[in-house]
Amino acid sequence: MSDASRAKKSGIGYQIEQKMETSYDQLDQDGTPDAIRAWIQAVLAGDEEAGTLKSSKQRDLHEWLKSGSILCKLINQLLAGIGQPPVSFKKKAPNTFAAFGNIENFNNGCTTYGMKKEALVQSVDLYEGRKGPFVNVINTLHSLGMKAMENGFQVTYLGVKAPTLDS
């Protein structure tokens, strides 16, 4: 669903959206999206699809991650590092249903990897790609990078700030 077909937010909904956008801007300023992009590309080195993103701008990250296939490839590498089986996914997600299935499989893999359910991606936050809610996607990937370091994964994540409940 595009922003043009949505009713404009007002009141507390507007205030929450603005706070989330400000949180995203702060993460962007801290370099977190760039650290996430670089880490994913390092983990998936040699994967042609993963190497196509040259920018860490929010819209570019959204388009790169939207189908969930990059996320599934990422979690499969991490799961292999701890001897767990991979999650299944559709390499080409031609529709919303397939993309949401990929995102759900990514979340299941994250749970297996040791992440808490509260830290997982909401499918709509990733798929719609609105800047405010996209902060949740960034926080999930940042937490996953930190968890990978904790689990001794060979590719080091270089994100510096841990997300908080307010971010």
Residue 132, pLDDT score = 81
Tell me the pLDDT band of 162, cut-offs 50, 70 and 90.
Answer: low
- Rounded-to-integer distance, Cα 107 and Cα 132, Å: 20
Percent of the chain with pLDDT over 90: 54
| Fold annotation for 12-150 | Actin-binding Protein, T-fimbrin; domain 1 (1.10.418)
Taking the mean position of all CA atoms in its chain, how far away is CA 155?
17
Instruction: Give me the chain's average pLDDT, please.
Output: 85
| Count of CA atoms in the C-beta half-sphere (13 A) of 67 | 13
CA dihedral 54, 59, 64, 65 (to 10 degrees): 140
Name the residue with higher pLDDT: 25 or 104: 104
User: Contact, 163 vs 139, CB < 8 A?
Assistant: yes
Closest CA to 57 of 148, 122, 134, 118: 134
**Model pLDDT for residues 42-94, shown as the tens digit of each residue:** 999 988 888 778 788 888 999 999 999 999 999 999 999 999 999 999 998 88
- Rounded-to-integer distance, Cα 45 and Cα 23, Å: 30
Question: Within a 10 A sphere around the Cβ of 28, how many other Cβ atoms?
Answer: 18
- Rounded-to-integer distance, Cα 27 and Cα 6, Å: 26
**Model pLDDT for residues 121-147, shown as the tens digit of each residue:** 999 999 988 888 888 999 999 999 999
